[in-house]
Chain A
Amino acid sequence: MIRFTNVNMTYADGNEALRNINLHIAQGAMVYITGRSGAGKSTLLRLIALIDRHTRGQIIINGQNLDRVRNRRIPLFRRHIGFMFQDHRLLNDRTVFDNVGLPLVIAGYRHQEIRKRVQAALDKVSLLPKINSYPMSLSGGEQQRVGVARAVVHRPAILLADEPTGNLDPALSWDTMKLFEQFNQVGVTVLIASHDLDMIKRLQKRIITLKQGRILTHAGTPMEENASSNEAG
């Protein structure tokens, strides 16, 4: 699903964010990326979503070489990806319904279809009663769950989450991670960047640790690794 081969990323200002990354994440896998801030976690996610382009090496997402995706095609490419952010980035002047429905509006779905899917997504994060509320009237945890609903409403193949629990207390963080697990169980490949190592370890998933732009360790239960590669084959 996701394969990095000798990938380097140097920003225009000379900052070497990633150095010689080799990585394979199978379809349907759930992977945590950890490391201190500045280690390159966000950059890794940005490269996958084509927000930035890598400077050397090769990235293949679902058989698609990212070098070959022309700029004009990036929007279509991104419609198969769902995003989650630390600061949830909801639009405060729109209702929960409009926020969650945005990816579907972009993809040109009809209104009835959008309503159906938004309701389903909000139901999954147990926020259906808040469908007509505005984000400001929700608690931090609820806002984050709206963000989750928005990230999955268009049924993406890959879910990218950048510090999704950064602003949440441990209990809410745990719930959010469990939510991600649920989506992973229905086949979505999930990549989560997080520095909350204690919690990640308890979740028993594959962990990729970055340090100064390099992969430091590649930890995960062997069973999981095998399962992942079997699925890929």
Chain B
Amino acid sequence: MPALQWKKTRAAMKPVNKKKNTRPNKTFKSEFKRRFDMWFLQHMQAFIYSLGQYAKYPVSNLLTTAVIGISLALPASFYLLLDNVRLVSSNWDGSLQITLFLQTDIDEEKALVFTDKLKENKTIKETVLIKRADALAEYQKLSGFAEALDALDENPLPNVILVKPAIEGMNEAETESLIKELEAMPEVDSAQYDSQWIKRLLYLLDIINRVIIILSTLLAIGVLLIVGNTIRLSIYNRRAEIEITKLFGGTDSFIQRPFLYSGLWYGAFGGIIAWVLITVSMQLLSEPVKQLANLYASNFQLIGLGFRNSLLLVAIGIALGLVGSWISVKRHLKAIDPV
């Protein structure tokens, strides 16, 4: 029972010239409280001490933090960009849609009948008729060619039917044959299958998403290395202090605590810098984007990080800082002389 024996020894080794026990430990409860107080006190000391160390070398620490901040800001802003693109494209949705332009001699009544007739086709799920008058009104409103259109004697637009195929994931051949079938109908002038490019866009977004994941991983590793290396240097610089601390009975957790907290500060401040960078960039972009959106008659606005994502960004920074410093501490503290 080494533990029991140890307790005895500790009691025996109590300093001999101690007049009275300054840390009474009568009951389990008070002993627990004393330990908790000590634990808390030492954490607060390390917390504040590491912040003090940070403030002691502001320039080099700020440079390190800036590098971490940029490394975090890059993937975060890519994600944000992707989010915005997705938001734009979600309006068009990925679902396949065929646009049928009817012959101009088909009037609204005939068009309505034809729309209903199409629904009987098993491969068609839904049809929506856009009447030529409605189309003109909308076009006048949105295109900015209102006056030019007013000058025309009659409505140049045909009736249009939007056809949604019954099967969501129709393959190319099936879609092609449906389009051919529809085009062959006498009422139809032409059929347009306009979701092709949306599909391409979605695939492209998927690729970009993966690129961002790979890039984020690399940059996260970069942050780990930056923090790890910074902590390694500070362990090296404070070698004398660590040796003395070990000699006077500092436990491993006592010694590594300030370094772990340093990692936390690097990560937290890096996260905050990343947040500032992104927020400023968004501010710079928002006005031009708004103007562009206006041209497309959209009231689209850039979405920013938002509260939750901002917290997430700082949390990721803290996590990376902690992990980086932890790896470094585990590797380099062991190498210092007194075990």
B-binding residues in A (CB < 8 A): 27-28, 49-51, 62-64, 68-71, 73-81, 83, 89, 91, 102-103, 105-108, 110, 113, 150, 154-157, 186-188
Q: Which of B287-339 contact A (CB under 8 A)?
A: 337-339
Q: Which of B220-257 contact A (CB under 8 A)?
A: 240-241, 243-252, 254
Give the secondary structure class of B's interface. helix
Residues of A within 8 A of B240 (CB): 89, 91
18 A-B residue pairings within 8 Å (CB atoms):
A49-B338, A50-B339, A64-B6, A68-B5, A69-B2, A69-B6, A70-B2, A75-B254, A76-B6, A78-B249, A79-B249, A89-B243, A102-B248, A106-B249, A110-B41, A155-B15, A155-B18, A157-B16
Cα distance, A91 to B239, chains bound together (Å):
10
Number of B residues whose C-beta is below 8 Å from A? 34
CB atoms of A108 and B41 under 8 A apart: yes
**Candidates B9, B241, B243, B254; contact of A62 at CB < 8 Å:** B9
CB atoms of A76 and B339 under 8 A apart: no
CB atoms of B339 and A51 under 8 A apart: yes
Residues of B within 8 A of A64 (CB): 5-6, 9, 13
Distance to closest chain B CB from A206 (angstroms): 19
Residues of A within 8 A of B14 (CB): 157
CB atoms of B250 and A188 under 8 A apart: no
Cα distance, A221 to B177, chains bound together (Å):
115
Cα distance, A71 to B244, chains bound together (Å):
17
Distance to closest chain A CB from B246 (angstroms): 8
Cα distance, A150 to B122, chains bound together (Å):
92
Residues of A within 8 A of B5 (CB): 64, 68
CB atoms of A51 and B247 under 8 A apart: yes
Distance to closest chain A CB from B334 (angstroms): 11
CB atoms of B15 and A103 under 8 A apart: no
CB atoms of B248 and A83 under 8 A apart: yes
| B22 interface contact, C-beta 8 A | yes
Residues of B within 8 A of A187 (CB): 16-17
